[in-house]
Amino acid sequence: MAVDEALLQHFDPDRSQPVLRLYGWEPPAFSVGRFQRAEEALHLERCAAADIPVVRRITGGGVIYHAAELTYAVVCAPRHISDVRGVKESFRVLTGFLLRFYGDLGLEASWAVDAPSAGECLGGRPPLCFAGKEEYDIVAGGRKIGGNAQRRLKDVIFQHGSIPLRCALAEALPFFRDPPPGLLDGATSLAQLGVTAAPAWLRERLAAAFGVTLGVDLLPSSLTAEEEATAARLSAERYGKTAWNLHGETP
C-alpha cells in the first residue's frame, strides 16, 4: 500500500507515463477503505490473534480479504484515456482490460450494469467490498469477481483492484462482524470458473490484455529512487502504524 501511494504522489500528469503495477499479498491480509472504521467491519482481536494484518488503503470502499489473488494498480492522467473526466466513465475505461483478460481465458464476463440480476440494486456502500456491486464491477456467471477502487487527485487517476485466484472468503468469514447472508454465493474466483493456471502466466495475460485494450506498449520498469524513498517513509510513518491502519489517523 505504501508503494501504491508513492506511485500516486510522484506521478506528474504532464510528464509521467502511465503505470501498471502487478503484485500479490503474503501473508494474507485485510484492507479497509480510506474512510472506513475498521472496528465496525472486523473483529480486530480475532485478526490479531490469527496474525492477519489489517491495512488501510488510500481508496474508498469496503473491507477486502486479500489471499490468493492478483492485484493491479494503475496510475494515469485523464489525457491517457482520451481525457475521460467522470469517475464512472474512467471506471468503465480502466476496467475494460479486465473484461478482455477474462475473455481471453474463455470466460463470459461483463460489467454489472450490463448483466443485472432480478431485483438487484447496483450501488450503495456495503462494509464488505464483495457484498455489493457497482455499475462497472465485473461479474461472471452472475457473481462478482474481484473488486476495484479509485482515488482521484487533480488531473491524476489512481485505481487498484483484485482478481481472486480462488475463493478465500470462507476463510475470512469468522473475522467479519456482520457478513451479509449469501456472501459466498455472490462472489466467484478464477478457480471456481475453471481457470487454475499458474499466477505468473496469468500476470502475463493480464498485462497483455491491458496493453491491447489501452493501446499501449508495456515496458518493464522499477521504482525510481524517489519513489522507493517515499514508499519507505510512508511504510514507517503510516502503513506500519496502528493509528493509520485501524483508525485512519495520520502523524
| Rounded Cα gap, residues 247 and 116, in angstroms | 35
The answer to whether 78 and 157 have CB atoms below 8 angstroms apart is yes
Q: 111-160, pLDDT tens digit by residue?
A: 998 876 645 555 555 555 554 567 889 999 889 999 999 999 889 999 99
Q: 192 is written with which cell numbers?
A: 471456481
How buried is 222 (Cβ within 10 angstroms: 0-12 exposed, 13-18 middle, 19+ buried)? exposed
**Residues 34-38: contacts with CB under 8 Å, at least 24 apart:** 34/58, 34/59, 34/60, 34/151, 34/248, 35/60, 35/248, 36/60, 36/61, 36/62, 36/63, 36/127, 36/248, 37/247, 38/63, 38/245, 38/246, 38/247
Q: What is the pLDDT of residue 142?
A: 87
The answer to whether 25 and 73 have CB atoms below 8 angstroms apart is no
Q: Is residue 235 part of a domain?
A: yes
Q: 32-50, pLDDT tens digit by residue?
A: 999 999 999 999 999 999 9
The answer to whether 138 and 145 have CB atoms below 8 angstroms apart is yes
| Rounded Cα gap, residues 176 and 170, in angstroms | 11
Q: Is residue 251 part of a domain?
A: no
Q: Which residue in 185, 155, 148 sits closest to 70, CA to CA?
A: 148
Q: What is the pLDDT of residue 29?
A: 97
Using pLDDT thresholds of 50, 70 and 90, give the confidence band for residue 86. Answer: confident
Q: What percent of the chain has pLDDT over 70?
A: 92
Q: Which residue in 229, 203, 242, 247 sits closest to 5, CA to CA?
A: 229
> Residue 110, SS3?
strand
User: CA 164 from chain center: how many Å?
Assistant: 10
Residues with a catalytic annotation lie at 129
Mean pLDDT along residues 235-240: 96
| Mean confidence (pLDDT) of the chain | 90
| Rounded Cα gap, residues 5 and 13, in angstroms | 15
Q: Is residue 186 part of a domain?
A: yes
Cα–Cα separations (whole angstroms), residue 195 to 70, 98, 184, 241: 13, 15, 18, 37
Verify cis geometry, omega within 30 degrees of 0, for the bond prior to 27: yes
Domain of residue 78, residue span = 2-246
- pLDDT(64) > 70: yes
Q: What is the pLDDT of residue 236?
A: 96
Residues 6+ apart with CB under 8 A from 93: 81, 82, 84
> Residue 91, SS3?
helix
Q: What is the pLDDT of residue 177?
A: 93
pTM: 0.89
Number of structural domains (the chain) is 1
Task: Output the domain CATH number for residue 58.
Answer: 3.30.930.10
| Rounded Cα gap, residues 83 and 94, in angstroms | 12
